[in-house]
Structure 1
């Protein structure tokens, strides 16, 4: 019965002549002659009075390809449509609120949808309830500003609390994972023992996990600066981070800058004497609860709150364990002044390929 039912729902959506609200980005994208229909459905078989699948009206549908991003909204039949598409391989994410619980979202993804030239393609996106702790890495600025003297010390990581309750940063750890290159690679579970390996830098917030001294309020952005100074004084094309919420400070370095007006994350690796800096175009950034602080034997996956892998090439080898991040986001060029940010604040499907996009300039604190 269920295959027949889902087929009927798709047929109804495709054949309907109802208006659907698809919006497009600015018309800088390539146009083509292809046509794509996406039908967003949710599994309602667990509902007492339901017979199977139901269309998800109003779902936000994000279509991504080498030509950029297009956004559509499903109509009452769960249908979103794009015309004049260029031939390409597309990725899709659909997202809608879960009725009655703001901490849960209905999320579905499709990858590698082939749309040939002058074709008409129909696909179904099944969305499922997805919960989150609410605390995510929202932006990573690693590329450095436009300059010709290799300046990139204005890096920052931005956190965001997308939940409706206050979270606490006490004892949490922020890590760069770029080691373990002789094994499965950075962030892989080398011994299949439930952790990720290759931690290069590990800095922690003050306090212990579970304490309640350093809150991050609902819908609040928190900026973690490599150096919390006004970098425009050194490089005019850079940014002012003197008002960052936190600063990475390496107490084992004689040269690291410390803004006394900004609280510090402290280095827990005494063998690392340089500042917390990440690779300009390819790296892994991890936020963990801090319950497992023994970095040398790997960080337990169960303690990882969020992690993002990024690379400069779409053909780069993915190494971070897929239980932590199923994809990786593309990074902007070195010294481009561009940044990587979630498509929407807090938007998290556990797949950075779909969750992130490159933006023209950094926005610390979601400016």
Structure 2
């Protein structure tokens, strides 16, 4: 009898120590977001109206999710998993399609069972300069590890002619073999360190020999060749606007019909090859011509970081960009492009998307 009582007591204690069943199931939260914009003509009088059919980008530990508001400017989602969300609302200005309306809701904590309501107030964003608009790095679908059809695309979003003379494009992937990361300001002296490759357009900053027409693209190829002749799934870059050529490498391909960006890092003979899935690209004005001590932040026109995983650690200085792009897998023919051409809110996570195929020189 004593043994029976002890056995029952043991079983009671055992089950009482087990983890209790959850009262709520993860993924039962509801989210209702209203996107609005101010259509008042006088700043002192606010008249917020719904932003219909706006793109809503939700970023969390689970990745990036894109939805759209309805005609009333409302996004309603059910069964949302628990996480901390960054939500961006983006839509064309109803009265001027050249203006983008953007608003964010940061660090919105969603827990299971919650019913959350929030309003995102959007503001007009316009771009008036040169920015990096597309990066194709991962290579086409192939089984021979071919990735030589890489290119970078720029866009002049202004309404005036810009000039490319002396502008620089950098690959930033180096470290100082300690705790410093590429794209960081290693010495806290106002520059970006870790330059791997340094190429530039002809001429010097301030000269006006190489115009960049307003509202146009230029594509810059690693090699200006019809790569589809080598790999059928690749692309024809023989007619791009510019080509990277390292003049210190006697065998680097040079299409005589395409003008060159040349290297100004004398100790490197490599072409401008970038990582297939993780790298940093910097576009600078060319005013700072000494790369060895870093690129002065005040001369940087644009900077983009892409990483292969949403858990990767960001290394590019936040003064250049607060986010980063999750790149597509290598050798699958996909590219990375701004959601809206030329629009740069300094948050690559929200500004960029993955394209199913590259579009050099157009969008």
TM-score w.r.t. the length of structure 2 is 0.82
Identify the residue that residue 56 of structure 2 maps to in structure 1: 62
Q: CA deviation at 1:70?
A: 2.9
- In structure 1, the residue corresponding to 2:228 is in which secondary structure? helix
Q: CA deviation at 1:104?
A: 6.4
- In structure 2, the residue corresponding to 1:295 is in which secondary structure? coil
Counterpart contact for 1:107–1:129, Cα < 8 Å: yes
Match of 2:181 among 162, 178, 185: 185
Q: CA offsets, 1:41-82, max 9 Å, x none?
A: 5689995642x6734645833223547543425756xx4223
| More deviation, 127-136/330-339 | 127-136
Q: CA deviation at 1:134?
A: 2.8
Identify the residue that residue 137 of structure 1 maps to in structure 2: 132
- Is 1:93 matched up with 2:84? no
- In structure 2, the residue corresponding to 1:243 is in which secondary structure? coil
Q: CA deviation at 1:166?
A: 2.0
Instruction: Provide the rounded CA distance (Å) in 2 between the counterparts of 1:72 and 1:58.
Output: 8
Aligned residue pairs, count: 333
Q: CA deviation at 1:96?
A: 5.0
Instruction: Provide the rounded CA distance (Å) in 1 between the counterparts of 2:129 and 2:98.
Output: 8
Identify the residue that residue 120 of structure 1 maps to in structure 2: 115
Aligned residue runs from structure 1 range 154-193, under 5 A = 154-182=149-177, 183-193=179-189
TM-score w.r.t. the length of structure 1 is 0.81
Match of 1:206 among 202, 206, 224: 202
Instruction: Provide the rounded CA distance (Å) in 1 between the counterparts of 2:356 and 2:266.
Output: 36
Residues 323 and 81 (structure 1), Cα distance of their counterparts in 2 relative to 1, 3 Å cut: same
Identify the residue that residue 193 of structure 2 maps to in structure 1: 197
Q: CA offsets, 1:75-105, max 9 Å, x none?
A: 56xx422334643654322235679998865
What CA RMSD, in Å, does the superposition of the two structures yield over aligned residues?
2.8
Instruction: Provide the rounded CA distance (Å) in 2 between the counterparts of 1:295 and 1:67.
Output: 35
Q: CA deviation at 1:276?
A: 0.4
Identify the residue that residue 31 of structure 2 maps to in structure 1: 36
Counterpart contact for 2:28–2:78, Cα < 8 Å: yes
Counterpart contact for 1:87–1:117, Cα < 8 Å: yes
Instruction: Provide the rounded CA distance (Å) in 2 between the counterparts of 1:163 and 1:213.
Output: 18
Instruction: Provide the rounded CA distance (Å) in 2 between the counterparts of 1:166 and 1:102.
Output: 21
- Is 1:82 matched up with 2:82? no
Instruction: Provide the rounded CA distance (Å) in 2 between the counterparts of 1:300 and 1:175.
Output: 13
Q: CA deviation at 1:117?
A: 5.2
Counterpart contact for 1:35–1:81, Cα < 8 Å: no
Counterpart contact for 1:228–1:258, Cα < 8 Å: yes
Residues 362 and 105 (structure 1), Cα distance of their counterparts in 2 relative to 1, 3 Å cut: closer
Identify the residue that residue 238 of structure 1 maps to in structure 2: 234
Identify the residue that residue 325 of structure 1 maps to in structure 2: 321
Instruction: Provide the rounded CA distance (Å) in 2 between the counterparts of 1:204 and 1:287.
Output: 10
Identify the residue that residue 285 of structure 1 maps to in structure 2: 281
List alignment gaps of at least 5 residues for structure 1.
Answer: 1-31
Instruction: Provide the rounded CA distance (Å) in 2 between the counterparts of 1:293 and 1:126.
Output: 41
Residues 260 and 163 (structure 1), Cα distance of their counterparts in 2 relative to 1, 3 Å cut: same
Q: CA deviation at 1:113?
A: 3.6
Instruction: Provide the rounded CA distance (Å) in 1 between the counterparts of 2:187 and 2:99.
Output: 33
Aligned residue runs from structure 1 range 241-280, under 5 A = 241-280=237-276
Q: CA deviation at 1:126?
A: 3.4
- Is 1:153 matched up with 2:179? no
- In structure 2, the residue corresponding to 1:296 is in which secondary structure? coil
Instruction: Provide the rounded CA distance (Å) in 1 between the counterparts of 2:125 and 2:289.
Output: 28
